[in-house]
Structure formats: C-alpha cells, structure tokens
Structure 1
Amino acid sequence: MSGDRAAHLISAGRLRTDPPKRLVLLDVRLGADSPGFARTHLPGARFVDADADLAGIATPHSGARPLPDPATLTAALRRWGIHPDSTVVVYDDAGSIPAARAWWVLRWAGLPDVRLLDGGLPAWLAAGGPVVSGEEPELGDIGTAAARPGGLPVIETAAVATLPERGVLLDARPQSHYRGAGEFAGHIPGAVSAPVFDDFDQDGLLRDEQTLRARYRDLGITGTTAVASYCGSAMAAALQVFVLATLGIEIALYPGSLSQWSADPARLVVGSAVVTPDPVPAL
C-alpha cells in the first residue's frame, strides 16, 4: 500500500485549485440524513447513506454494520457514477468517520483511487470552498465500476481472539469506552487502547506524518507486525485503517468489531462499567 499521503488524503485547497480528473465526490452521512445533504454539500456531490449503502443487513451475530453485499454495492457505485478509472473523494461533516467508512468500503471493493477530504466539509468551508443546497441532480453518466471484494484485509472473530499473542489489536474508540463506558463497553482481551481521534488536531485535520509514526511506533506498530483495528461497529476502526494507510502501513479491519464479539456471551469482554464517558460517540 502506498504511504504517500496524497494517495489517500486531499486537502480542501488542493481540491479547490487542482481537482483530480474523472472526479466523483461522495457526501457521506450517518443514517438517512438527506436533509443535511440538501442544506449544504459540495457542488456535484452524490449523497451516501453510511448505514444503507456501506453496510449489509445486520443479524444477531453479524455485528451492527456487516460488510455490504457486493451486488448491492456495485449498484450503488454505478448509481454514484463511479468508473474503474474514477478518482473518488469522500467527505463528511462528522469528524471523518463516515467518510473513512466509505474510503475503506470502496478500497475493499477494489477501487484503486479513493481519497478522503482532510477536515471534511468544515475544512472546505474554512477554505472558502463553494457549497450548494437542494437535492442531488440527475446523473447523466451511469457508472461502470463493480465491487470486487478483497482490496483491503479483514480479520474474522476467531483470528481476533489470538491476534494479541502474535501481533497488535488496536481499539480505536475513546479510552472511556475501552475501560467500560457507553454502548459496547469494555474491550477485547489483549487489545491496546489507541483512540483514533488523537490522530487529528482540533480542526479535524490529520496530524503530521512524524507525529503519527511516533505514536504508532510507541504502540508497537512498525509495518512488519500483524495488526488489526476494531471499534464498536467498524466505523472509527475504518478511520484508523485509513490513518495507517497514509503511513504506508496496511492493517486489517475487524468488520464485526465489538458489536459482533460481544454478541456471544461466551466471549470475554474486559472492563468496568463504572466510567465517565468521553464526549465523543463510540462508532
């Protein structure tokens, strides 16, 4: 995987002044937030429902956001006007987590050029970027891309249980959730707390490469160790996979995350329930 930040991340300034050719913009929202999209979005952006478009149908043992069905995802890719040679830029207004889920799903589906807008919609507005309102326009160009899963690695529950013995299992959620607060409280035995929100500054921009490398090196990640990330439902963890991709380090995502792990009462979840939650969602 390329470690060039520009292969995975694009700044608002660069998107404004030197947009990629064959550009497709995706505005990713949590749930069916089409009203939010209708109020403000980048010109030409397509609306993406992170729950309906980027996840499959949940079952009692699948986790809250299982991987999407390839045929259904293919239909969405074409509805958004994506071709195999498109450059897809994803963004959101929710701290880059929904956009990172889109980045991960599209890369997993085999799309070669997917980038995340650094800082999302707030950064675009701060840079003086234009926005529009209203519903998305009719798309004249139906895409031809097809979902071909396998572009990024995943790890299944059985392997997650043994990973801490041979590698590093990262918990991307806030420390309070790791310790036992909030939905899907506690953590998988042997997991290391590594809140992905710490990888971004107060403006929601990704921290510099040197800072990120030092942080993950301190967590035992050098690029040669087996590593996977999880959260509550593979949203924050997808952002962590993205962050490490900008460093040229490929790690696996646990799609079921703690929502799948904890569905089986026989699986141990470590952590006390008496913890003050951090003021951020456990995604």
Structure 2
Amino acid sequence: MQTLMDVATLKDRLDDAGATGRRTVLLDVRWALGDPHGREHYLAAHLPGAVFVDLAHELAGPADASRGRHPLPSQEQFQASARSWGIRRGDAVVAYDDSGNMAAARLWWMLRNAGLADVYLLDGGLAAWRRAGYAVESGERQAEAGDVELTDGALPVIDAGQAAAWGLGGVLLDARAGERYRGEFEPVDPRAGHIPGAVSAPTTANLDADGKFLSPAALREHFVQLGVRADVPTAVYCGSGVTAAHEIAALEIAGFPAALYPGSFSEWSNNSSNPVVTGAAPYPDQAATYLDGCESQR
C-alpha cells in the first residue's frame, strides 16, 4: 500500500481533477509541540484548497492522565470531523504539514485505522510544494460537508500492559528525541526516561535534510540495525501518540508492519506503578551489553 505522494503527482492530480472527476481532499495539519499557532500558520499560507485540521481538538480527545496527553477521539467524533473537512465516500486524501509530516502522520494513521486506504502523506510537505514553485493561498478554506463512513480498528494497537512486556519478545521503538529517551530532558511528562525494553529510534532519523522520507532501502537498513525484523512483532510509542505515527509510516515504507501504543509515554509515566528506565540501554542492567552491540554495528 502506498504511503507517500510526491508534490508533482499531487499537482497533476489536482490539475486533472476536472477532467477525471477524481476528488483529492487536502488536509493541512499544522502543529508542533510548543507551537500553538498552527491555525495562524495555515491562514498565512497553505496549499490551494487545503482545509485546516486542528490536531489538539480534532485528532485527540481531552488530555487524561490515564490515557495520555492526546488520547484518540471516539469513532463518532472522528467521523464528524472527517465529514466537516469535506471527505466523501471514494475520495483520496492527502495530509501534510510543514514539519516533515511529524503532525500529518497522526491524521494519516487515524484515517488508515478508520478504514480508508486511499490516504497519503505529501512527501516533504509544504516546503517541498514551495520548492517546486507551486502556488499557495492564504485565508480560511471551508469545505462542503462530506458523507464518509468511518470504522475503527483497521490497524494494530497495544495498551500499557502489552507495552510493559513487549521488549521481551518483540521490538518496542521509542520515537522521541534521544535525550528524552535517556531521561536527560523531559519538557511535558511527569517522569523522564523510557519504557523498559524500548529502543531509541527518534523520528528525525526517518527524514533527509529536506524533510522528505528516506528511501525504502535506507529506512529498511535503519530499522534492521535497531533490531526490527519481519518475523518479530514491532510496536511504537512517543510522548503522546503523535510522532509515533510518523515512525509507523516510515516502517511501512520500509516494509515492516507495526502497532501503535496510543497513550505512549504520557500515559505510561503518569502511572506511578509503571517503571521508567533512564540511560541509553533498553533495560537498566543491560547498559554495557547494549552499548557494546551498538559499537559492533558501526
């Protein structure tokens, strides 16, 4: 299944829409941790026809210590939002942002999980569109209400109980920055460190200098070095379940299926009974062995 769409392909699809009758819904998911001005960025400049998606309010329910900072909304709430963006039965959907698809991947994953197959990430996002010399527009774009029917559960997820033991028989990837994984810095969650057994796999390693995903071969090599294999189950978490979706997209491009832990570390760290590990090793007593293994792969 195709994950990405490049800007030239999207431009052709939009230019040919009148002749072919193919509808492509463009969704702008401008959001970044610590930047509450996504809508303002969208209003200033966005792809022609793109509708703004409010990640904090449309792609997440209210923050809840027992479910994390960005818990998934109910199926009913998500369907209502998808219809307000103008998605109809049979439409293709292309999501993008201006941060390497770190936010847009949350929408991509949620629509895939809701049963839509014809949904893509715009590789390189707004920056790639602009570099190609294509026009942008400003202001609000209101969509005519759609009629899409969404389901739930098309993609695998795990809960905290499964995450606790996942590293013993599978690969649990932590998609946050390395300093947060190691417990050196934690800007938002109550405790610093990582889930026991997790391997550090920052999402920034999935992208090139232009904010585009690495090639399938390069991504596959990267994940294999982290222990990912076709015969071993893989799961991913991050701070609140947002950038973990980016990691799942990268894994899909590389040919590896993976499950999402939606509550992620914000849920895990709020439960005082859950252990947290600091340092570079997945488990506290494996530091030397793990670091020696890393050195042997260089």
Once superposed, what is the RMSD of the aligned Cα atoms? 1.4
Q: TM-score, structure 1 length as denominator? A: 0.90
Deviation, 1:179, is 0.5
CA displacement, residues 26-54 of structure 1 (integer Å, 9 cap, x when unaligned): 00122563221111011111110011110
What letter corresponds to residue 65 of structure 1 in structure 2?
Answer: H
- Of 179, 186, 189, the residue aligned with 1:182 is 186
Sequence identity (%): 44
Change (3 A) 1:263 1:151: same
CA distance in 2, matches of 1:41, 1:202: 21
CA distance in 2, matches of 1:36, 1:247: 31
The secondary structure found in structure 2 opposite 1:154 is coil
Instruction: List runs of 5+ in structure 2 lacking aligned partners.
Output: 280-298
- Of 141, 164, 169, the residue aligned with 2:167 is 164
Deviation, 1:223, is 2.1
CA distance in 2, matches of 1:102, 1:251: 16
- 1:26 is matched with 27
Deviation, 1:136, is 1.1
| Moved segments of 4+, more than 4 Å | none
CA displacement, residues 215-271 of structure 1 (integer Å, 9 cap, x when unaligned): 111122122211100011111111001111122321000000000001111111111
- 1:223 is matched with 230
Task: State yes or no: 1:14 paired with 2:9.
Answer: yes
What letter corresponds to residue 155 of structure 1 in structure 2?
Answer: I
More contact order relative to length (CA 8 Å, sep ≥ 6)? 1
- 1:109 is matched with 114
CA displacement, residues 67-89 of structure 1 (integer Å, 9 cap, x when unaligned): 11111111111111112311100
The secondary structure found in structure 1 opposite 2:128 is helix
Residue 219 of structure 2 contacts residue 253 of structure 2 at CA under 8 Å; is this kept in 1? no
Residue 32 of structure 1 contacts residue 49 of structure 1 at CA under 8 Å; is this kept in 2? no
Residue 99 of structure 2 contacts residue 211 of structure 2 at CA under 8 Å; is this kept in 1? no
Using the TM superposition, name which of 201-210 and 9-18 deviates more: 9-18
Task: State yes or no: 1:37 paired with 2:42.
Answer: yes
CA distance in 2, matches of 1:34, 1:196: 24
Deviation, 1:132, is 0.4
Task: State yes or no: 1:237 paired with 2:240.
Answer: no
Instruction: List runs of 5+ in structure 1 lacking aligned partners.
Output: 273-283
- 2:289 is matched with none
Task: State yes or no: 1:267 paired with 2:270.
Answer: no
CA distance in 2, matches of 1:44, 1:224: 43
CA distance in 1, matches of 2:268, 2:119: 29
Task: State yes or no: 1:258 paired with 2:272.
Answer: no
Aligned length: 265
